[in-house]
Every structure is written in C-alpha cells, then in structure tokens.
Amino acid sequence: MRLAPLLTAALLFISPAFSAERMSPVDVAAQVAAGQAVLVDVRTPEEWAETGVAKDATPIDMTSPSFMDEVHKLAGDNPGKRLAFICRSGNRSGQVTQALEAQTDLADLIDVAGGMLGKGADIGWIAAGLPVRAP
C-alpha cells in the first residue's frame, strides 16, 4: 500500500492545466476586427515607445500596481469578448494568461504567439505586417 501515498504526493505537485489558447498575430487581429476579442499589450511604456503598439491594442503595463484592476475593468467593459495578451516575444503574455487563469475568474484567454517581435518559428505582429500605432 505504499503506492497510495506516492500517488497522492504526485497529484499534489502536478501543475494545473491552463486553457489559454496560443494564437497567431494574424488570427488575433482577425478576432479583434470581428469584435470577438480585445487585445492587451502588457509590455512596459519603454517597449511601447521602441516599437509602437498594435493598432487596436489597449496598453496595460504588467508591472503596474494597477494591472489587475485595469484588466478586470477592460473585461467588464467588453462583455462576451475574449481577452488576448501580447508582449515582445510571447513569454510574458503566456505568464500573464496563466496567472490570470489561476488567480481570477477570467477564462477563455488568448496568448499571442510570437508577440510583437516574434520568437523562433512564431512570427510576430510586426513581421506579419499588421498595423502598429504610436503609444
């Protein structure tokens, strides 16, 4: 009967499954244009100034103390729309979606693969030729 304690211990350390969908910038742009999603740029103001912000994105600095409040307000102002998160390369947006799913009631989130600049095989927003505006 040693198996039961080992199985219980193993189950305690399994990380929960997150359901945020990784989606290409082109597909996210289409969802935003169709009114099905709202795009959130979680980078810092310095990063926004370097590359600009995706045309229809709402910039909310993930390092800001008001980040969670601003995201919840945006979600409340856009009922029925999915929230899509973008960063520089897709790392931080993935972390943000996981944290939001684990710590809030937000669900059905989108992680923009490759972010603004791309990473590896993931082509970024800019390389995909999608519109950018000044921050």
Please report the pLDDT score of residue 18 as a whole number.
54
Give every CB contact of residue 26 below 8 A, 6+ residues apart in sequence: 128, 130
Residue 2 domain flag: no
- Cβ neighbourhood burial of 7 (10 Å; 0-12, 13-18, 19+): exposed
Could you tell me the residue range of the domain that residue 121 belongs to?
19-133
Walking along the chain (135 residues) 10 residues at a time, the average pLDDT comes out as 36 50 97 98 97 97 96 97 97 94 93 96 96 95
- pLDDT score at 17: 53
Q: Is residue 76 part of a domain?
A: yes
Residue 30 identity (one-letter amino acid): A
Q: pTM for the whole thing?
A: 0.85
Q: Can you tell me the distance from the alpha carbon of 25 to that of 84, in angstroms, rounded to the nearest whole number?
A: 10
Q: What's 129's domain CATH number?
A: 3.40.250.10
In total, how many domains does the chain have? 1
Let me know if residue 14 belongs to a domain. no
